[in-house]
Amino acid sequence: MAKLKIVFVLYPGVTHLDFTGPHQVLVRTPDAEVIVASLGGQDIEAEGLVFTKLADLAQIERCDVLCIPGGFGTTEAMQDEAFMAQVRRLGGGATYLTSVCTGSLILGAAGFLQGREAATHWAWRELLPSFGATMSEARVSRDGNVITGGGVTAGIDFALVLLEELAGRDYAEAIQLGLEYAPAPPFNAGRPELARPEVLALVKARMAAAVDSRAEAAAEAASRLQPA
């Protein structure tokens, strides 16, 4: 029996925890092959870490699970047609289409979120309707075979939800226990509705430079979509 094939797709500017958090969980999926790939198998630098010896996206024939992490590089990735062509090709045959953080914008740009509910980082939720998606405020959202996580750390929650689907609840809970995943953050500031106003303003100011370019990239990508 062929192994379940899980493919993580990396690109320049990816947020490494969007990828490494879920990878830490899903690499433990029974009878599965987990592949980390990039366009051309190029090394990927992510906030000071370099991921190397990656598979070439174009050389992967198919996958059962396609996972797209997010990051500030999402804007450029959506505009890279060679990259998007491989996402569309692999996603078109995948059993599960998944993402973490702004990776859902790439799924949307590939045409996979039309008429679907999806989650993303709170700062970018309003871009999802551009791709015909309904934005979810959930930490993990599921709509059929589309499973999406919110920002960064939600990737671990997402991975456990997916692992339950692939291997059952008992197994997923055992992995959670083995990893001692029992978050108890020191500050109650992990969502915009919980953060102090001055903290929220600070984070929004830091992200302001990316707002226009990402919105423009999303609009351009959405304009290329074919009607559902």
- Buried residues in 181-202 as b, exposed as e (16+ CB within 10 A): eeeeeeeeebeeeebeeeebee
59 Cβ partners below 8 Å, 6+ apart? 41
Asked if 129 contacts 151 with a C-beta cutoff of 8 angstroms, the reply is: no
Does the annotation count 67 as an active-site position?
Answer: no
* Cα–Cα distance, 210 to 206 (Å, whole number): 9
Tokens 């102090």 locate to 196
CB 152 within 8 A of CB 102: no
Beta bridge partners of 136: 119
The residue from 25, 44, 101, 161 that is catalytic is 101
Positions marked catalytic? 101
